[in-house]
């Protein structure tokens, strides 16, 4: 994706007595770095004390041996953040810690809640106000959940040590939206998914214990083998007695379809299916649906590569490279002028004129969100001498904002919200444009077609969307969602 939406965050947890759990958490977060690049953090428990280290930046910027060495313990959780609720700042880095019970607890959250105003009302908060006496040192929905859990802790610690579990059982049914949590207290590692399972969470086994991770690819890097997915509506608890499970809500699986399209690493498995192979099948389906005469099929790297490979294989048109990606450039933060914004695109992608000149190109990407970067890429290909540019997208038009954990901005910012495919073609300056049909996309995953959330493509919101933009609801008065005027969600919450 040349201009991706904000990723879902990455969470990781490990219970491994006798092992360097901080180093294992570091490796797990490194494997999940693609899911969030704003901040990183690790919380470790040694059975008596919970220590949290977090900071802004990439995992390798936040942690080194000097910071990892003192983090001694037998269980840990980690978090990579991309903000969906709450601004990007140090105070909003995770894991979130609360000092209650014997040692307190820490929480890492992937997702976004849709009822933050209702939940803040339950704590006696006013929108736009921080109340230090409530412990809200952060303005995220994650901190709000942590505070709700802390309020449900018993006045005196229980003899069986299940304070965190029981508090979660009281809080989880009150949460709406998308969430995969990893939590720890002094002795337990806990993983939770919302009842729809919008965001993935998997359970793995290592010789010394257990691992929880947003993606199965993160299990590989720590030498864990995949056991199973944490089920929607399930809470998994891991401690010295082993592993136990509790379903706090009936499961209605609706994994975000964009985990297959873009978010997850290609070496991850979702619903037991290879993401890489699914993306190649998307390209094959796209070639069958929207064939065109051309000399070369090329991807927008890196995200368009598998689909471009599939398109080339199914069409018989040679696959080639037309763009080089600078692997060391992440998000472009400083773009104050139009001229520098263009330079920002070239920092990330640069054309190969000798492969492009005089050729009819089929350019494949996984999606188009706002369209500005895609338009600049097309212009670069034209300047490099492309005879024709035919754009193919391995997902349907992205028309609706996500409220469950993907930061896409408002609907008015989405290119396909109000434009036809023909109008988008003209805006991008391409000779032809085609998007993969939804039924073909779902078929390419190899999974049950009813097991996905497709709200961003169809407007079919499984959980009612808020009447106000809650992204910064805990920092400032919420703003009306003008672009949803006259729109009613097409399905009710289950």
Q: Is residue 494 part of a domain?
A: no
Is the preceding peptide bond at 189 cis, omega within 30 degrees of 0?
no
The burial class, CB within 10 Å (0-12 / 13-18 / 19+), for 333 is exposed
Predicted TM-score of the model (pTM): 0.88
229 shares its domain with 286: no
Burial class (CB in 10 A: 0-12, 13-18, 19+), 383: exposed
Tell me the CATH number at 117: 3.60.20.10
CA end-to-end span of the chain: 32
Alpha carbon of 488 to those of 416, 466, 481, 492: distances in Å? Answer: 19, 11, 12, 10
Task: Give residue 230's pLDDT.
Answer: 98
**Residue 57 and residue 87: Cα distance in Å, rounded?**
14
Same domain, 183 and 246: yes
Alpha-carbon distances of 205 from 14, 232, 246, rounded to whole Å: 10, 20, 19
402 catalytic per annotation: no
Q: Residue 6 and residue 10: Cα distance in Å, rounded? A: 12
Residue 117 structure tokens: 């105003």
422 CB neighbour count, 10 Å cutoff: 9
Same domain? 30 vs 177:
yes
Query: pLDDT tens across 176-201, in order?
Result: 999 999 999 999 999 999 999 999 99
Segment (H or E) for 441:
helix 438-445
Q: In this structure, are 287 and 147 located in the same domain?
A: no
Same domain, 94 and 234: yes
Are 74 and 46 spatial neighbours (Cβ–Cβ below 8 Å)? yes
Q: Classify residue 242 by burial, with Cβ atoms within 10 Å: 0-12, 13-18, 19+.
A: exposed
> How confident is the model at residue 391, as a pLDDT?
98
Task: Assess whether 197 and 289 both reside in one domain.
Answer: no
Q: Is-contact 98 150, C-beta < 8 A? A: yes
Domain of residue 359: give its range: 275-446
**Exposed/middle/buried for 164, CB within 10 Å: 0-12, 13-18, 19+?**
buried
Read off the CATH number of the domain in which 419 is found: 3.40.50.2020
Q: Which residues, other chains included, contact 240 with Cβ-Cβ below 8 Å and sequence gap of 6+?
A: 17, 187
Residues 236 and 315 grouped into a single domain = no
Domain-embedded: residue 477: no
45 and 113: one domain? yes
Whether residue 281 sits in one domain with residue 217: no
Q: How many structural domains is the chain composed of?
A: 2
d(CA 96, CA 102): 17
**Do residue 224 and residue 285 come from a single domain?**
no
Helix and strand totals (H; E) in the chain: 16, 25
**What is d(CA 465, CA 484) in angstroms, rounded to the nearest whole number?**
10
Predicted pLDDT at 90: 60
The pLDDT of residue 138: 53
Sheet holding 50-56, edge to edge: 50-56, 39-45, 75-81, 10-15, 209-213, 202-206, 225-229
* Catalytic residue (choose from 9, 256, 402, 456): 9
Q: Are 308 and 283 in contact (CB under 8 A)?
A: yes
Domain for residue 4, yes or no? no
Residue 336 token pair: 């104050």
Q: Which parts of the chain have pLDDT scores under 70? A: 1-8, 82-90, 125-139, 328-344, 467-494
Query: Do 98 and 211 sit in the same domain of this protein?
Result: yes
∠ CA 286-287-288, nearest 5°, is 90
State residue 199's pLDDT score.
97
Give pLDDT, residue 240: 96
In whole angstroms, give the CA distance from residue 450 to residue 173: 23
In a domain, 73, yes or no: yes
Max distance between CA atoms of the chain, in angstroms, equals: 76
CA distance 283 to 366: 9
Same domain, 120 and 206: yes
Query: What is the DSSP secondary structure assignment for residue 35, as one 8-state letter?
Result: G
Whether 24 contacts 50, CB under 8 Å: no
Final residue of a domain: which of 196, 222, 253?
253
What integer pLDDT is reported at residue 28 of this predicted model? 98
């Amino acid at each position: 994706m040349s201009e991706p939406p904000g990723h879902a965050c990455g969470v990781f947890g490990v219970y491994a007595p006798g092992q360097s759990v901080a180093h294992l958490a570091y490796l797990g977060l490194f494997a999940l770095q693609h899911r969030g690049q704003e901040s990183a953090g690790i919380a470790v428990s040694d059975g008596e004390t919970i220590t949290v280290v977090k900071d802004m930046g990439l995992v390798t910027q936040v942690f080194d041996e000097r910071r990892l060495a003192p983090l001694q313990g037998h269980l840990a959780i980690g978090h990579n953040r991309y903000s969906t609720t709450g601004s990007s700042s140090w105070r909003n880095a995770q894991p979130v810690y609360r000092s209650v019970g014997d040692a307190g607890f820490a929480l890492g959250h992937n997702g976004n809640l849709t009822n933050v105003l209702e939940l803040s009302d339950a704590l006696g908060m006013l929108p736009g106000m921080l109340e230090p006496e409530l412990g809200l040192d952060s303005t995220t929905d994650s901190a709000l959940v942590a505070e709700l859990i802390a309020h449900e802790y018993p006045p005196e610690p229980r003899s069986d040590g299940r304070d965190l579990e029981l508090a979660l059982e009281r809080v989880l049914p009150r949460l709406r939206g998308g969430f995969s949590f990893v939590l720890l207290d002094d002795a337990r590692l806990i993983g939770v998914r919302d009842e729809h399972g919008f965001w993935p969470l998997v359970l793995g086994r290592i010789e010394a214990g257990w691992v929880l991770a947003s993606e199965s690819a993160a299990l590989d890097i720590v030498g864990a083998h995949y056991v199973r997915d944490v089920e929607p509506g399930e809470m998994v608890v891991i401690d010295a007695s082993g592993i136990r499970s509790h379903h706090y809500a009936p499961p209605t699986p609706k994994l975000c379809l964009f985990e297959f399209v873009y978010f997850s690493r290609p070496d991850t498995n979702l619903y037991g299916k290879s993401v890489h192979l699914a993306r190649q099948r998307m390209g094959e389906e796209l070639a069958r649906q929207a064939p065109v005469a051309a000399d070369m099929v090329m991807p927008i790297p890196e995200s368009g590569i598998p689909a471009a490979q599939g398109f080339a294989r199914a069409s018989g048109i040679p696959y080639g490279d037309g763009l080089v990606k600078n692997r060391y450039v992440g998000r472009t933060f400083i773009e104050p002028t139009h001229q520098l914004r263009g330079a920002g695109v070239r920092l990330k992608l640069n054309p190969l004129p000798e492969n492009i000149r005089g050729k009819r190109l089929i350019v494949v990407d996984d999606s188009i969100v706002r369209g500005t970067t895609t338009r600049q890429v097309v212009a670069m290909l034209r300047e490099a001498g492309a005879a024709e540019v035919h754009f193919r997208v391995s997902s349907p038009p992205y028309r609706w904002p996500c409220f469950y954990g993907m930061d896409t901005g408002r609907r008015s910012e989405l290119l396909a919200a109000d434009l036809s495919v023909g109008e988008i073609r003209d805006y991008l300056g391409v000779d032809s444009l085609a998007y993969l049909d939804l039924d073909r996309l779902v078929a390419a995953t190899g999974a049950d077609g009813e097991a996905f959330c497709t709200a961003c493509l169809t407007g079919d919101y499984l959980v009612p969307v808020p009447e106000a933009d809650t992204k910064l609801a805990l920092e400032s008065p919420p703003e009306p969602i003008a672009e949803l005027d006259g729109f009613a969600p097409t399905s009710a919450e289950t």
